[in-house]
Amino acid sequence: MAVALPGVVEELLSEMAAAVQESARIPDEHLLSLKFVFGSSAIQALDLVDRQSVTLMSSPSGRHVYQVLGSSGKTYTCLASCHYCSCPAFAFSVLRKSDSLLVRMGKALLTVVKSGEK
Amino acid sequence: MRLQKIRFQYPPSIRELFRLLCSAHEVSGPVPSLLLLDGLEEYLLEDPGPQEAAYLAALLLDTAAHFSHRLGGSGDCGLMVALQTQEEADSGDALQLSLLQRYFPAQCWLQPSAPGPPGRCFRACLEQGEQGSRAEWLVTFQPEGEMAITSWPTQTGDPSSEEGASSGGPP
């Protein structure tokens, strides 16, 4: 499971990104799959997208970073290419647990946000 | 690799290291093919919390990923981080090490081995993550500084070999 799941997630996210580019919407079956894999975290991530709380910041050199406006009004930084967010939820829900999959989930959710921005 | 092609930098604090990594994409010149951070333990001595330690690990990976992207089809930018751990780590150190291992799953451990005259010997163990392969070598430094690497003389069912794999002792 720990080995297979990231591959499944990557494929699901790729399909979602392709669907968004094609029809500017995410099919319901993909959203259900996300909810199945990530539970309530997927809903929270998509809610951030709906509220336009995610900003992609790009430097002229091509380096990217995401800035997320939390519900408390504070802004947090998510690194684009790997598993880190400066929000308290990441510190409590991911760093304090030893399940490495949760770190990958952070990346996956970030990619969901990214696909939703397009 | 020619020495002139290596760019040495000495950030004196973890704050300066953050600044260097965050602005690495603005530096002009050729895109590096390898980032090597030596002495991570010096920065961890400043006692950053788990989130700051995770930020440092993630920022190193992010910087290398950015350079890989800029290199395009001509290769990836590698990342190597060297860390010296204590033999008797307290719970805080163990937590920090566990956190770093999640970000850097491929690890090469160096353990001092029984000194075989003349010179110093280390047992080197390369682990490619939890599910990956594992290889071991004996690294010997002669008194005049010459280094020799030979395969570790393991045997099938060698109990000491298995113990080293599970405990992941200090380098």
B71 pLDDT band (50/70/90 cuts)?
A: very high
Cα A62 to Cα B79: distance, rounded to the nearest angstrom: 19
B62:A80 CB<8 A? yes
> How do residues B39-63 score in pLDDT, each as one tens digit?
999 998 887 788 899 999 999 999 9
Confidence (pTM): 0.79
Q: Note which residues in 7-46 of chain B have CB less than 8 A from chain A.
A: 25-26
Neighbours of B4 (CB within 10 A): 6
Question: Residue B162's pLDDT is what?
Answer: 37
Report the candidate in B64, B107, B102, B80 with the shortest Cα–Cα distance to residue A104: B102
Per-residue pLDDT tens, chain A, 118 aa: give them.
344 566 787 788 888 889 888 988 888 998 898 888 888 878 888 888 888 898 989 999 999 998 989 888 999 998 876 678 888 888 877 787 655 444 444 544 555 555 444 4
With an 8 Å Cβ cutoff, are A79 and B58 in contact? yes
User: What pLDDT score was predicted for residue B95?
Assistant: 80
Give A81 to chain B, closest Cα distance, Å. 6
Return the beta strands (E) in A1-118 as ranges: 54-58, 64-69, 75-79
Per cent of chain B over pLDDT 90 is 40
C-beta separation of B89 from B99 below 8 A: no
Residues B146-157 have pLDDT tens digits of 898 988 876 554
What percent of chain A is predicted at pLDDT more than 70?
A: 75
What is the DSSP secondary structure assignment for residue B31, as one 8-state letter? P
Q: Per-residue pLDDT for B21 more than 90?
A: yes
Could you tell me the residue ranges of all domains in chain B?
1-104, 105-154
Q: What local confidence, expressed as pLDDT, does residue A3 receive?
A: 45
> Which among A12, A44, A91 has a CA at the least distance from the CA of B50?
A91
